[in-house]
Amino acid sequence: MNDCDVAGLTSSELFNHFGFDRIIDRTTTPSIKWQAYEPDVLPMWVADMDFRSPPAVMQALHARVEHGIFGYEQDPSELRELIIERLARLYDWHVNPEAIVFLPGIVAGFNLATRAFVNADEGLLVQTPVYMHIVEAARDAGVQSHDMRLTRQEDGHYTVDMDVFEETITSQTRLFLLCNPHNPVGRVYMRAELEAMAEICLRRKVLICSDEIHSDLIFNDHRHIPIATLSPEVEAQTVTLMAPSKTFNIAGLHCGYAVIPNADLRRRYRRARGGLVGTASLLGYTAAEAAYAEGELWLRTLLKYLEGNRDLMIRYLAEHLPQLKMRAPQGTYLAWIDCRGAGLAQSPARYFLEKGRVAFNEGAAFGPGGEGFIRLNFGCPRELLLDGLERMRKALA
């Protein structure tokens, strides 16, 4: 059954067709998510969904495996064209084929940018709390960390204080590492916010590297805007990182890409590979091409399912765990939960692991401002989500 055959089905029928409610045993695979803890622990931590990838992806991988030869392979021009078409369709962003640089992943992508554009006596600007590998990027590259905290309002909404943003930039700041949609707080930045940050970076001669790996995972009433699309001037000083990996649950196949229209930045970026950072994997290319070509209905269905999970969580916390505070994420499948009202300011993730046998990411790992929070991955069948919430309730009881 292909997408044309199922396009008229209801949401519930599509959930069933794509198997989003099906619980798949991952304990028999070398899964980081499912092997990190004891068998009685429910893992809801790393950003790795518990859904099968789109049927088209599995079919393409089967066909490629059946070919039987897995030698060195160049990046397929068809995938490059699919990415160009996708950027134009979704964002009215028109780039040339040579602007796309394939990568094994986005973490490699922003670490590569740090090494390409920031010298040892210079600095990298990040906004905390933020994805832990972004927090660690300056240290890993041996450069200065110039970090600022996002502003958390009483209702849990996060904003960027532009005065603090500019004050954090020094004469040594060379690169701003933006995370949008934001992991873990779930913000999808509005145009005015992006414009304000970009204007400051342009004026202060700070390059931008934008991690936009969750850009396809946007909920209703919100829209992702790549910061590079704001103007030709912003585009010329921006490296944009994207991938199908989170969207279509193919992270283990290692395929991401940077969009770098500026030829000089692209040359410096490529040169920084230094023989250490390769490109995507052969099967990663295969999966990415199938996902972008034929995975749109699966993605639309996934977003409806994730939105249902998100809303279920909000209702459950309000009714059963009012001491925990969560604002609905605008994008991603990650919930950022404030546990300080439950007296868990020190190590809430450890508490829930020990008392509830459910594993989350510790908020402190995301840098200043993350203390007392947990990050919960709700990209899973609803039955598992309810199990996790019940474990939390019993732990706090």
Cis peptide before 181 (omega within 30 of 0): yes
Quick one: how far is CA 346 from the chain centroid?
Answer: 26
Cα–Cα separations (whole angstroms), residue 139 to 26, 118, 129, 170, 245: 34, 12, 16, 18, 26
Question: b vs e for 219-256, b when ≥16 Cβ sit within 10 Å of the residue's Cβ?
Answer: beebebbbbbbbeeebbbbbbbbbbbbbbbbbbebbbb
The pLDDT value recorded for residue 6 is 73
Longest dimension (CA), the chain: 59
Query: What is d(CA 238, CA 48) in angstroms, rounded to the nearest whole number?
Result: 27
Pairing mode, strands 373-377 and 361-362: antiparallel
Helix segments in 118-220, DSSP class H: 132-135, 137-141, 162-168, 191-203
Q: Which two tokens stand for residue 393?
A: 């309730």
Quick one: how far is CA 291 from the chain centroid?
Answer: 17
Cα–Cα separations (whole angstroms), residue 174 to 33, 146, 206, 207: 35, 10, 5, 6
**Which domains, ranges and CATH numbers included, belong to the chain?**
3-54+296-396 (3.90.1150.10), 77-294 (3.40.640.10)
The pLDDT value recorded for residue 8 is 79
Cross-strand pairs, 145: 124
First to last CA, the chain: 47
Contact 63/50 with Cβ under 8 angstroms? no
The pLDDT value recorded for residue 333 is 98
* pLDDT string in tens for the chain (397-residue length): 455 567 678 999 999 999 999 999 999 999 999 999 999 999 999 999 999 999 999 999 999 999 999 999 898 999 999 999 999 999 999 999 999 999 999 999 999 999 999 999 999 999 999 999 999 999 999 999 999 999 999 999 999 999 999 999 999 999 999 999 999 999 999 999 999 999 999 999 999 999 999 999 999 989 999 999 999 999 999 999 999 999 999 999 999 999 999 999 999 999 999 999 999 999 999 999 999 999 999 999 999 999 999 999 999 999 999 999 999 999 999 999 999 999 997 899 999 999 999 999 999 999 999 999 999 999 999 999 999 999 999 999 9
